[in-house]
Amino acid sequence: MENCLFCKIARHEIPSTIVYEDEDIIAFNDINPVAPIHILIIPKKHMVSTNDITPDDVDLIGRMFTVIKTLAAEKGISETGYRVITNCGPDSGQEVAHLHFHLIGGRTLGRLVSSQP
Ligand code: 5GP
Ligand code: ZN
């Protein structure tokens, strides 16, 4: 998509620190990391969020998680642990309207969901 920030990163029109790339997937360091390891894994094709995933994307999404697992191992956080997050829509605070998974680790992370509703 012409004016999408992450499509531009995928096309290498905007610089980023790329840590993985293949024909369909690219992963790069988040510009504003919340932990020592904070990588964004995105499909190169434009999809807004998980709402856009169809059965045709099963292989792509599965491969994205294989990339996440491999990056976690490369960064040395497989055993210490990490979190994978995707935001979808306004209530989640999604800022960039192109599907992405955050891979976050390298420090102890706070509880994501409290016991309070
Ligand atoms: P969201 O809130 O949409 O789930 O996450 C968007 C993420 O993209 C944020 O963590 C933000 O720091 C990151 N981000 C925004 N603009 C850029 C950019 O130009 N380059 C990189 N590498 N990350 C970005
Ligand atoms: Zn896009």
What CATH number is associated with residue 9? 3.30.428.10
**Would you say residue 19 lies in a domain?**
yes
| 3 state SS of 26 | strand
**Would you say residue 60 lies in a domain?**
yes
**Would you say residue 29 lies in a domain?**
yes
**Would you say residue 51 lies in a domain?**
yes
- The range of the structural domain enclosing residue 70 comes to 5-105
Q: How many domains does the chain have?
A: 1
Cα gap 60→58, rounded to integer Å: 6
Q: What is the pLDDT along the chain (117 residues), one digit of tens a residue?
A: 899 999 999 999 999 999 999 999 999 999 999 999 999 999 999 999 999 999 999 999 999 999 999 999 999 999 999 999 999 999 999 999 999 999 999 999 998 776 665
What distance in angstroms lies between residue 96's CA and the mean position of ligand 1's atoms?
Answer: 7
Ligand 1 in reach of 18 Cβ (< 6 A): no
Bridge partners (DSSP) listed for residue 11: none
**Would you say residue 35 lies in a domain?**
yes
| pTM of the complete model beyond 0.85 | yes
Tell me, what's the pLDDT at 30?
A: 98
The backbone torsions φ and ψ at residue 113, rounded to the nearest 5 degrees and listed phi first, read: -125, 120
What distance in angstroms lies between residue 98's CA and the mean position of ligand 2's atoms?
Answer: 5
**Would you say residue 115 lies in a domain?**
no
